[in-house]
Amino acid sequence: MMQRKLTLALAALLVAAPLSAQEPPANPNLEEARLTASKLAWADLPIVRVLDDLGLSSDQANRLQPVLAALQAQFRAIDTRLAAALQAAAADISATNKALLAGRPAPVAADLARYEQMRDEATRERDDAVLTATTKVDTILTKQQRALIQQSDMATPPGQPKPRPEYLLKAHEAQAQWQAQVQQTMMRLLQQGRGETNPQRYAQLAPQACLQAAAQATGLAPREAAVQALAKQLVAGLDQARRLNPAEVAQRIVQLAAAMVRAVSDTLASLPNSGLRPPVLVTSADLEDLVRYERSPLLLQSWVRERPAVLIEAPEQPGV
């Protein structure tokens, strides 16, 4: 009786499952492509976050990219070897499966044993390759970036599970809000800078406005050397914004604001335990995720391409 119920229920489940999923999409291939793209973007986000939190420069990204691409090539070579060994063990796998399902002892299966030994070795080989790559990555990171990782490790209990995609937004809410707030301040500053038509007045007011904005964004006193250095970078952003022609304003001004947010972020990163920015944590486990992630080489290329504009400070003119 129980088996009959089980059979009927399972049959109902299996028939109902695909029906309950959704109405058949107009273009199944398109839907599958959207699904894959979405899954990849969700998987990319924590890795991009690591790049962002580390404040990786374009130069560093360019140096990291070949290291991580080589690691992925090593992974692929290991996978290819394993796939060949698995194929060679096909007959053994089938025979062992049959025997065990029939309640007989597993037969002697040399090819299967060889494959399983290779599998164990491959795990070790991958770990070793990651270790070697991480050592190289380490030499590319700055002292501050390594210090951030060390501090994050100390602040994070080991073995924490990673948040599921749907919790990613929440996990970084405070950081996102801070970023949005600073972005708004910078946009206002850029608009004010572009709005000032009198060059002399601009030259007089811009440094003071930028110093105020730098102090406001960092929560530090204007007399601090770091705030003054940041203010100079912000003035550079304003100068660049004033030189934009009307056709490129819409796109470039947002990029400049993002670059100014990055400048604020970098300033705060160099001054631990200060400022208004929520604490940034990049643990060594996060770095290892970046090193291992299949799409990291691709993301690093995008990072270089999409990275905000660089704030170029005008050389100081004597007597000005």
Q: Which CB, 110 or 221, lies closer to other proteins?
A: 110
Q: Any contact of residue 292 with other proteins (CB under 8 A)?
A: no
Provide, rounded to whole angstroms, the least separation between the CB of residue 303 and other proteins: 6
Neighbours of 264 (CB within 10 A): 26
Residues in binding contact with other proteins, number by CB under 8 A: 78
| Residues 6 or more apart in contact with residue 244 via CB below 8 angstroms | 194, 252, 253
* Candidate list 21, 110, 221, 250; residue touching other proteins; CB under 8 A: 21
Question: Considering only 48-56, 201-209, 238-246, 270-278, which stretch makes contact with other proteins by CB under 8 A?
Answer: 48-56
Q: Which CB, 84 or 203, lies closer to other proteins?
A: 84
- Cα distances from 238 to residues 167, 253, 257, in angstroms, run 37, 9, 9
Question: Considering only 73-81, 229-237, 251-259, 266-274, which stretch makes contact with other proteins by CB under 8 A?
Answer: 251-259
Tokens at 177, concatenated: 């809000």
DSSP collapsed to 3 states, 84-144:
HHHHHCHHHHHHHHHHHHCCCCCCCCHHHHHHHHHHHHHHHHHHHHHHHHHHHHHHHCCHH
Provide, rounded to whole angstroms, the least separation between the CB of residue 73 and other proteins: 14
- Alpha-carbon span 65 to 54, nearest angstrom: 15
Question: Considering only 45-53, 189-197, 219-227, 231-239, which stretch makes contact with other proteins by CB under 8 A?
Answer: 45-53
* Candidate list 35, 73, 174, 312; residue touching other proteins; CB under 8 A: 35
Q: Would you give the DSSP letter of residue 150? A: H
Contact map string, positions 186 to 205, toward other proteins, x by CB under 8 A: --------------------
Torsion angle of the four alpha carbons 287, 293, 297, 299, in this order, in degrees rounded to the nearest 10: -80
Site for other proteins, residues 114 to 133, rule: CB under 8 A:
124, 128, 131-132
Q: Which CB, 34 or 201, lies closer to other proteins?
A: 34
Q: Any contact of residue 142 with other proteins (CB under 8 A)?
A: no
Question: Considering only 99-107, 219-227, 274-282, 311-319, which stretch makes contact with other proteins by CB under 8 A?
Answer: 99-107
Neighbours of 180 (CB within 10 A): 10
End-to-end CA distance of the chain, in Å?
A: 95
* Candidate list 54, 56, 71, 89; residue touching other proteins; CB under 8 A: 89
